[in-house]
Amino acid sequence: MSGALALVPPWARLVLATALVVALVLILRLPTAGAPDPRLLLLLAIWLGAWAANAWLVAAFPGRRTGALAAVIFGATLIGLWELATRLYEVPRVILPPPSMIGARLVASTELLWIDVVQTFFKGALAGFAIGTGAAILFALIVDRFDFLRRGLLPVGNFLAALPIIGTAPIMVMWFGFDWPSKAAVVVAMVFFPMLVNTVQGLAATEAMQRDLMRTWSASWLQTLLALRLPAAMPFIFNGLKIAATLSLIGAIVAEFFGSPTRGMGFRISTEVGRLQLDMVWAEIAVAALVGSTFYGFWALLERRVTFWHPSQRGR
């Protein structure tokens, strides 16, 4: 048995095993259900074929480029199967629209989607992100000067960062009204503590020897900060910025579920779900994914430019 298995190249073993299991299930089902459903067989064949292609690719051409190609093939296969399955089984559009319909909606309502992006991302999330992270960095500089404050704020900040701060959304809507300031306020509350904790940790990342060296050069606090401590803190600061980037869009969208003017991504999602216009909902989610990963990617790229000296960024 193991000898026979050794003959099969390793990349094909998983495919073979899956095919065996599928065959077994089909055979066991046969007496009760009659002939196997050809639609299911088609979908399974595509899935196994794509998987085998991927496995062969990765085994035959190891490397980063092949990895990226495999990921693209995997994603394309999933979308293709989604399209085919919804059409073959005639899934009602109010449950799961096919990707082509979502794409058509995406193209047809570009204007509306752009209005939502401006309202939610550029006004709500971005304003909150800028205020929240900026305030956190400034506050971290103050906290850093007093050891007592740092020892007290770090555990409290860590604790607050784990809480469901998004629940403050109804309160912020009450205080700042339906429009984007309330969303920005929620984002500020969400990003402040993760950013603060990261920056304070980063400012403590220099060694005593390095700080002593700055002192022997009689560098002022500001000079030490600019020349030594801020650069050393950059990996931590960018980590905080990346966390804040993800949180800001989540906060802005969810805050709109608690009340918003008649535009915005969260508003559109909740109302179109109510009208069962699921293609619009999926289009909005696709846009949210695009905006979210772009915003995150921006900070990741900037991080690579700024902290090129850090071990985690070298050797790429």
Partner 1 sequence: MRNLLPVLTVAVALILAWYVAVVPMNAQWERDQAARAGTEIGFSELVARTMAQDRPRLPAPHQVVAELWQSTWVEERHGRRGWWNTGTLSNRSLVWHGWVTLSATMLGFVIGTGLGVMLAVGIVYNRAMDASVMPWAIASQTIPIIALAPMIIVVLNSVGITGLIPKAIIAAYLSFFPVVVGMVKGLRAPDAMQLDQMKTWNASGLQGFLKLRLPSSMPYFFASMKIGIAASLVGTIVGELPVQQGGLGVRLLSGSYYGQTVQIWAALFAAAILAATLVGIIGAIQRATLRRMGLAP
Q: Please identify, among the stretches 100-108, 196-204, 222-230, 262-270, the one whose residues bind partner 1 according to the rule CB under 8 A.
A: 262-270
**CA gap 129, 187 in Å, rounded:** 6
3-state secondary structure 110-162: HHHHHHHHHHHHHHHHHHHHHHHHHHHHHHHHHHHHCHHHHHHHHHHHHHHHC
Q: Please identify, among the stretches 106-114, 160-168, 199-207, 221-229, the one whose residues bind partner 1 according to the rule CB under 8 A.
A: 160-168
Q: Which residue has the tokens 């002939």?
A: 35
List, as own/partner pairs, every contact residues 302-306 make where C-beta atoms lie below 8 angstroms and the sequence separation is at least 24, other chains included.
302/238, 303/234, 303/235, 303/238, 303/241, 303/242, 306/234, 306/238
Q: Please identify, among the stretches 34-42, 79-87, 157-165, 232-240, the one whose residues bind partner 1 according to the rule CB under 8 A.
A: 157-165
**CA gap 72, 38 in Å, rounded:** 27
Q: Is 250 in the site for partner 1 (CB under 8 A)?
A: yes
Q: Out of 4, 31, 38, 148, name the contact with partner 1 by CB under 8 A.
A: 148
Q: Which residues contact 272 (CB under 8 A, 6 or more apart)?
A: 278, 280, 281, 284
186-208 residues labelled b (16+ CB within 10 A) or e (exposed) = bbbbbbbbbbbbbbbbbbeebee
What number of chain residues touch partner 1 (CB under 8 A)?
68
For residue 217, the minimal CB distance to partner 1 (Å) is 32
For residue 273, the minimal CB distance to partner 1 (Å) is 5
Q: Is 51 in the site for partner 1 (CB under 8 A)?
A: yes
- Shorter beta-carbon distance to partner 1: residue 34 or 148: 148
Q: Is 185 in the site for partner 1 (CB under 8 A)?
A: no
Q: Of 56, 59, 54, 47, which is closest to residue 71 (Cα–Cα)?
A: 54
Q: Please identify, among the stretches 50-58, 103-111, 192-200, 219-227, the one whose residues bind partner 1 according to the rule CB under 8 A.
A: 50-58
Q: Which residues bind partner 1 (CB under 8 A)?
A: 11, 14, 51, 54-55, 57-59, 62, 66-68, 70-71, 73-75, 94-96, 148-153, 155-156, 159, 162-164, 166-171, 173-175, 245-246, 249-250, 253-254, 257-259, 265-266, 269-270, 273-274, 276, 278, 281-282, 284-285, 288-289, 292-293, 296-297
